[in-house]
Amino acid sequence: MEKSIAVSQRKLLLISGTGWMFDALDVGILSFVIAALAKDWNLNPAQMGWIGSINSIGMAVGALLFGILADKFGRKSIFMITLLFFSIGSGLSALAPTLTIFLILRFLIGMGLGGELPVASTLVSESVPTKDRGRVVVLLESFWAGGWLIAALISYFVIPKFGWQIALLICTIPAFYALYLRLSLPDSPRFQTVNKEKRESVLKKIKQVWSKKYAKRTLMLWVVWFTVVFSYYGMFLWLPSVMVLKGFSLIKSFEYVLIMTLAQLPGYFMAAWLIEKVGRKFVLVTFLLGTAIFAYLFGNGESLTMLIVSGMFLSFFNLGAWGALYAYSPEQYPTVIRGTGTGMAAAFGRIGGIFGPLLVGNLVSQKVSTDYIFTIFCISIVIGVLFVLFLGKETKQVELD
């Protein structure tokens, strides 16, 4: 019996994680495409910022919409729809003749990306035993590092020789994978049980998320999601461009960001190892503080060694914190509103993802130094840490309602 459960768990992790990896591939490719588009289309920093921000606007809409729909129609079907959204959109964006059309397609891609992440983490949280839940969700998040690594490799080898359009076409692969999911992925057993017993309106579920019982944890989640997404998309979508601003060539910048990306996987694995030993709060707070410290050091770095070392630690801590956040978020709510609650928190967080890239674009256009810009992200993360410390409750080994 134990063996069959383990195999099923591995299969679930592999299927969900591969979808997660394609998500990261798309977002990672975008960070390199922005730098390439700036040269091909002569974009100014404000226009570059809008590419990242329109993606986050779509993610906010997608997280809210698909999170609610996942509580109504099931995790599996919505997971598949979100995969198709961003897969097909990525292929079409490679053919975009103008920035306006590219931005419209990035909005649609963002909807798929924003919906897939909270739905997948909810599905996995509800499908594994309590003792393994946190570790498995962090391992699910580790596929994000794999996607970023593939994005960095594709960007380094493909974009300079064949152009950004070919790199985006490669991101259409998930469209075929989504069809495979139809046959391979079971829906959440908890959702199936609760769905038979209890049906509630969307409005009632939204009200329940902000009811007296859940208001404190909802406030905590929304603030943490906002600060983490704001800083992540502000920093990481601009990493290749920041390296160019610091005087490195486009190809060299891609190479250095690829090196930094390698540190993401150890960050996830360390968080996965710690999360069932010391708890969600400790891992989330520790890794967020590490992110804040190395964001500051990266922004102030001048030498290549300092930039690469601080960039690697920034990747290590930030992506480990993401893993803990995705494990922690679905555990705040009962099954009947889990998709809605997690999706709403992620949607609010994506508002931060709108402002982060725009802020960097505007500040760069005003010749503001990167040390000042990264200090803003450092302060943002510390605010998130304070909310987790004072409002967050430990959920390690807590049975889901």
Report residue 83 as tokens.
Answer: 């995969």
Establish if 119 belongs to a structural domain: yes
Establish if 198 belongs to a structural domain: no
Query: pLDDT-based confidence at 258, cuts 50/70/90?
Result: confident
Its domain, for residue 73, covers 7-178+206-391
Establish if 246 belongs to a structural domain: yes
Model pTM? Answer: 0.79
Q: In terms of DSSP H, where are the helices of 158-214?
A: 159-162, 164-170, 173-184, 189-197, 202-209
How many structural domains does the chain have?
1
Establish if 194 belongs to a structural domain: no
Q: What CATH number is associated with residue 245?
A: 1.20.1250.20
Establish if 185 belongs to a structural domain: no
Establish if 200 belongs to a structural domain: no
CB 44 within 8 A of CB 365: yes
Radius of gyration, CA atoms only, the chain: 20
pLDDT in tens, 217-256: 999 999 999 999 999 988 887 888 788 878 888 778 888 8
Establish if 183 belongs to a structural domain: no
Region label for 352, one of left (φ > 0), alpha (ψ between -120 and 50) or beta (otherwise): alpha
pLDDT in tens, 13-42: 887 888 778 878 888 888 888 888 888 899
Establish if 201 belongs to a structural domain: no
CA–CA gap between residue 245 and residue 75 (Å, rounded): 42
The pLDDT, as a whole number, for residue 282 is 94
- Most confident listed range (1-10, 177-186, 228-237): 228-237
CA–CA gap between residue 218 and residue 391 (Å, rounded): 10
